[in-house]
Structure 1
Amino acid sequence: MNLNKFGGKKKVNLNKADEKEKLNLNKIDKEENLNSNLNKGKKHKKINIISEIKDLPGCGARNPFMILGASLWYLFLAFGFFCNWGSGDITLILEDIFVVALLLSFTLFNGNYKNIKSKLPLTRSNVKNRVIAGVIIYNIVIFMIYGIITELI
């Protein structure tokens, strides 16, 4: 009997069949991963919004008075953003937008939103005096940018 030839051919055929099945299974796995990632992405966005709100300065604090103060501050900013929209005067609307942007940028910078101070050159130093000088300089720069924008309008 010639079992080696039969077994050898069968092994080759099985290997080719196994490779085809592996390729098919890999395609199915990729499709399932894509579908699951899409579904996870929808859930992940909801979680991201909640984590983004908690990242805002004052909202992630454990002190309820800090959370209340921060909520009132952001409510004040929202009110300031929309207060002159009924007047129809575009210059008043733009001024409101820029004032809210200025106050929000001060809030986010001084509240160290997303650890921004460690990414800026003047405030990432270990020397306390340099950090204080950097914070003052960046606040002045933010205020000057606001002044330049309002002069242009």
Structure 2
Amino acid sequence: MQQQMESRDEETLELKETYSSLQQEVDIKTKKLKKLFSKLQAVKAEIQDIQEAHIKERQEHEQTQNELTRELKLKHLIIENFIPLEEKNKILNRAFYDEEEECWKMKAITRIEDDHQMMSRPPSAVGYRRPLSHHAHIAMRMKPDMRYKVSCFPESE
């Protein structure tokens, strides 16, 4: 609206102006043309800056998308080759989408849904209460050091 008001004011000034000579009219119109031309150049420069910023932003988005695609492919490769199918299905069954927070979450694993029983902690591979490293297992058998003493011996012994 302000630009329209300014243009109307300029038009009324032009109508009121009377020129004493043709050269004076040419000079005044030349000044107005230079003024309009400088405005045009400023607008063109602004458009060019905006276009350059848009191109840069688009390139950054494309780069981010490529990085995310690479990460996703890597994760799919790891899942397909290193996670057993049974475990993968368990995780997929536990996953759900939270509409309020707009993100994926996992259901708690404290209960087994089919049996309605509490899950027990997985036992050690050799039957101890807690997992033991190979070194600790050998040191426990060789030395009577308290550091490697286990309160519960394996069920197989």
Q: Same fold (TM over 0.5)?
A: no
Structure of higher RCO (CA pairs closer than 8 Å, 6+ residues apart)? 1
Which has the greater radius of gyration? 2
The structure richer in helix per residue is 1
TM-score by length of 2: 0.29
TM-score by length of 1: 0.29
The structure richer in strand per residue is 2
